[in-house]
Amino acid sequence: MKNSALFRTFARYASLSVLGMVGMSCYILADTFFVSLGLGKNGLAALNLAVPVYSVINGIGLMLGVGGATKYALLRSGGEERRANEAFTNTLYLTAVFCVPFVLLGALFPGQLATLLGADADTYGMTRTYLQTLLLFSPAFLLNNVLAAFVRNDGRPQLAMFSTVSGSLSNILLDWVFIFPCAMGMFGAVFATCLAPVIGIGVSCLHFIGGKCRFRAVKAPFRAEYAKGCFSLGFSSFVEQLSNAAVMLAFNAIVYGIAGNTGVAAYGVVANVALVVISVFTGVSQGTQPLMSRAQGEDRRADVRRLLLYAASAAVLIAVAVYAAVFFFAEPLAQVFNSENDPALLSTAAEGLRLYFIGMPFAGFNMAVCACFASTDRALPSQGLSLLRGLVAVIPLAFGFAALWGAIGLWLAFPAAEALTAVCGALCLRFYKK
């Protein structure tokens, strides 16, 4: 009966978190769809060049939110209410600090950043517009992630889910309004995306009404121990997003040399569909995190192991089902983003979907393992595995495989890196079990 109750609680938290994270990932997917319809292949390429910056902003927001909220949950479950509130306050301090460089970069250097990311004459203007607006709204993205994580850890997963889903739905509607009836072009796409976290913040703030909120900002100095907790416990979440950015930069450069802007646009289709699937795994992991942290704080180690089994099994089963769907429907899926009916874009994207998504079952397992280590205050293995899958393995494999086998090798670099990380993750679990 106890195990059954634990599974039901896991299913509730994980499903709500998945809905929220899928909603958040749809910010960019909606942009991809409407930009492909309204601005064509070059617009799609420009969007793909700018998306790594979104991944970095989102990654820092998740790091602060997940790391700070995990520390909060561990302290509260240990009965340290005052220190738990200090953890929340210090997370807000860190959020304000990280806003400054993003806003300055957007205000002063958007053009240079667009050039650095690989924009050419055909894509420079749209890339610059997207980057500048995104960076100026970065405080909203960061705060939205932080509030959602704390609300989830404070026993309100439904509200955390609703905050992200409401933002995503508004983004989809506003994308269409701004790009087509209002004819605002790329600025319309990014403005719709940037309004979504503002709406999410408004929904999360409902948690402070009604007396159910157990965290609040208190008068507290900045303390290094809380910053360290944010960085170490949220590091795997940050690296997951940073890896998206780094991989996209590397893949953009490689595929541009192979197939030009058509290749970049095709990779944009693959990467942004993959972003939605990865967000499902992130949702499973983040939904499990409060339960694992609570169980760890109360010394219920058997429950931690069961929760890891639930999370890893759910992620792998979802990944297998997604891969089957992608394998059989790759061409129709790619055609959704091919408004100009470019045959080269269609064939390249379909091939990429079938090969790239082989790595999804491994990715789901890896993210569940990293979340388990981070949630139980074992930062080192979580950080090591996150770095391995996100940076250390995939980028060298991408350049090496592409040199050997061209585009096919490029698509296979992601599955190879995730499979290698899965082996290392299994070894880490065996070590810590002993």
Residue 133 predicted with pLDDT over 90: yes
What contacts 346, CB < 8 A, 6 or more positions away?
Answer: 331, 334, 335, 338
Number of residues that this document lists for the chain: 434
Single pTM value for the model = 0.71
* Model pLDDT, residue 2: 57
* Model pLDDT, residue 313: 93
Write the burial class of residue 207 (CB in 10 Å: 0-12 exposed, 13-18 middle, 19+ buried).
buried
Identify the band that residue 27 occupies on the pLDDT scale cut at 50, 70 and 90: low
Q: Distance between the two ends of the chain, CA-based, in angstroms? A: 28
CA distances from 134 to 155, 161, 216, 350, 397 (A): 31, 23, 29, 29, 31
- With beta carbons less than 8 A apart as the criterion, state whether 136 and 191 touch: no
Cα–Cα distance for residue pair 280/276, rounded to 1 Å: 7
Average per-residue pLDDT in the chain? 86
* Model pLDDT, residue 291: 86
Residue 363 predicted with pLDDT over 70: yes
SS (H, E, C) 200-261: HHHHHHHHHCCCCCCCCCCCCCCCHHHHHHHHHHCHHHHHHHHHHHHHHHHHHHHHHHHHHH
**Both structure tokens of 209:** 């009404």
**Both structure tokens of 68:** 């700070």
Least confident among 99-103, 184-188, 250-254, 361-365: 250-254
Does residue 397 or residue 237 have the better pLDDT?
397
DSSP designation for 182: S
Cα–Cα distance for residue pair 290/70, rounded to 1 Å: 7
Cα–Cα distance for residue pair 400/66, rounded to 1 Å: 34
Residue 366 predicted with pLDDT over 90: yes
* Per-residue pLDDT reduced to its tens digit, 303-357: 888 898 999 999 999 999 999 999 999 999 988 888 778 888 889 999 999 999 9
* Model pLDDT, residue 30: 72
Please give the angle made by the CA atoms of 221, 223 and 106, to the nearest 5 degrees.
Answer: 90
What contacts 426, CB < 8 A, 6 or more positions away?
Answer: none
CA distances from 300 to 154, 181, 432 (A): 19, 56, 16
| DSSP labels, 118-170 | T--TTTHHHHHHHHHHHHHTHHHHHHHHHHHHHHHHTT-HHHHHHHHHHHHHH
Cα–Cα distance for residue pair 176/151, rounded to 1 Å: 30
* Per-residue pLDDT reduced to its tens digit, 188-212: 988 988 998 999 999 988 888 877 7
Helix pair angle (81-108, 124-136), 10° resolution: 150
Does residue 45 or residue 147 have the better pLDDT?
147
Identify the band that residue 1 occupies on the pLDDT scale cut at 50, 70 and 90: very low
* Per-residue pLDDT reduced to its tens digit, 261-294: 788 888 888 887 888 888 889 888 878 877 888 8
Does residue 27 or residue 53 have the better pLDDT?
53
Q: At residue 34, what is the residue type?
A: F
Calculated CA dihedral for residues 224, 229, 231, 234, nearest 10 degrees? -160
Torsion sign over Cα 155, 159, 160, 161 = positive
- With beta carbons less than 8 A apart as the criterion, state whether 43 and 127 touch: no
Torsion sign over Cα 15, 16, 22, 25 = negative
Cα–Cα distance for residue pair 124/179, rounded to 1 Å: 19
CA distances from 258 to 79, 250, 252, 402, 409 (A): 58, 13, 10, 9, 12
- With beta carbons less than 8 A apart as the criterion, state whether 191 and 178 touch: yes
Q: At residue 340, what is the residue type?
A: E
